Amino acid sequence: MTGLKYDQDKPMYNLLPANAIDDMAKVMTFGAKKYAPNSWQNVEDGLERYRAALLRHTFAIQRGELIDSESGLPHSAHAMCCAAFINELEKMQNA
């Protein structure tokens, strides 16, 4: 007998790029140590501030600066975190 699994309409998490997600986790760990775990959820004017931070990291990349001098981690990973925070905060506001 062949087993069945109905997962064709579910998100394909196996498509996520492992190295990028790993760098994102490192940025989040850096932030948790600097501030507090999950404190990003309670930042005043979070959407506006994370949009500004996303642009700062993106513009740093455009200038050729790939690594953030404070964390030693890629600006692209910081930008991913900012985008994730924005996405989550938007969903929280619309819930």
Ordered by start, the domain boundaries in the chain are 36-95
> Token match 């959820």: residue?
41
Tens of pLDDT, residues 12-68: 999 999 999 999 999 999 999 999 999 999 999 999 999 999 999 999 999 999 999
Average pLDDT over residues 73-90: 99
Classify residue 94 by burial, with Cβ atoms within 10 Å: 0-12, 13-18, 19+: exposed
Tens of pLDDT, residues 3-12: 888 888 899 9
What pLDDT shows up at residue 3?
85
> Token match 């507090």: residue?
36
Q: Tell me the backbone φ, ψ of residue 90, rounded to 5 degrees.
A: -60, -45
Phi-psi region of 43 (alpha: psi -120 to 50; beta: other; left: phi over 0): beta
The model carries a pTM of 0.90
Contacts of 28 (CB under 8 A, 6+ apart): 81
pLDDT at 1 > cutoff 80 = no
